């Protein structure tokens, strides 16, 4: 399954890249991510665990997901490989392109999930992608 979305923010690519390459920025950038921990950085990648919280009425489930994020030398592309419990995987590719005084952000998401989870995972990914666009736009204008 694949999703794609493009939007423009009022900040230069270097500023957007610096924000998105920091795992701590994803708290609130994704409405599900409530914590980031175990951040390790090497020359090749940044690895971390993001904790997603799913609410089901008065109950909630904390879902730890493993993320391996790599950035490009030119500061224009970030690839995040995500492994979640339940055999769910996701690859998020963010491409930043100058657009006047701002940046066009293009996100493509490829995901796999077992058949019983597919519709739920796809709906969550689509919702998170839209929220991330709105929140990143807000953050880059503040």
Question: Domains of the chain: which residue ranges?
Answer: 2-139
3-state secondary structure 24-35: HHHECCECCEEE
pLDDT tens digits along 97-136: 999 999 999 999 999 999 998 998 888 889 989 999 999 9
Is residue 132 within 8 Å of 27, Cβ to Cβ? no
Which pLDDT score, from 0 to 100, does residue 142 have?
A: 63
pLDDT tens digits along 16-56: 999 999 999 999 998 889 999 999 999 889 999 999 888 88
129/24 Cα distance (integer angstroms): 17
103/8 Cα distance (integer angstroms): 5
CA geometry: angle 2, 50, 139, nearest 5 deg = 80
| Burial class of residue 105 in the structure, from the number of CB atoms within 10 Å of its CB (0-12 exposed, 13-18 middle, 19+ buried) | buried
> Taking the domain 2-139, which CATH number applies?
3.30.530.20
Residues sharing a CB contact under 8 Å with residue 104, sequence separation 6 or more, in sequence order: 6, 7, 8, 96, 97, 98
104/98 Cα distance (integer angstroms): 6
Distance, C-alpha 77 to centroid of its chain = 13
Residue 96 has pLDDT above 70, yes or no: yes
pTM of the model: 0.90
């Amino acid at each position: 399954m694949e999703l794609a979305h493009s939007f423009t923010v009022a900040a230069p690519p270097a500023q957007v890249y610096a924000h998105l390459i920091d795992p701590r920025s994803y708290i609130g950038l994704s409405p599900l991510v409530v914590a980031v921990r175990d951040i390790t950085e090497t020359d090749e990648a940044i690895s971390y665990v993001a904790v997603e919280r799913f609410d089901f009425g008065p109950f909630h489930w904390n879902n730890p997901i493993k993320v391996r994020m790599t950035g490009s030398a030119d500061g224009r592309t970030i690839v995040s490989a995500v492994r979640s419990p339940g055999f769910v995987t996701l690859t998020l590719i963010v491409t930043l392109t100058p657009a006047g005084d701002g940046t066009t952000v293009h996100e493509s998401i490829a995901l796999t999930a077992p058949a019983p989870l597919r519709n739920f995972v796809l709906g969550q990914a689509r919702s998170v992608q839209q929220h991330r666009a709105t929140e990143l736009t807000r953050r880059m204008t503040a």
